[in-house]
Amino acid sequence: MTNLPNTYDLTGKVALVTGARRGIGRATLNLLRARGARIVASDLSGEVQALEAGDVATLVGDVSDEGLARRSV
Q: What is the pLDDT of residue 22?
A: 92
Read off the pTM. 0.79
Full set of structural domains in the chain with CATH = 1-61 (3.40.50.720)
| Phi, psi for 27 (deg, rounded to 5) | -65, -40
Q: Find the length of the chain.
A: 73
pLDDT at 46: 85
pLDDT of 5 reads 62
Residue 42 near residue 68 (C-beta atoms within 8 A) = yes
Per-residue pLDDT of the chain (73 residues; tens, 9 = 90+): 556 665 789 999 999 999 999 999 999 999 999 999 999 999 998 888 888 888 899 889 998 889 888 877 7
**21 and 58 Cβ atoms separated by less than 8 Å:** no
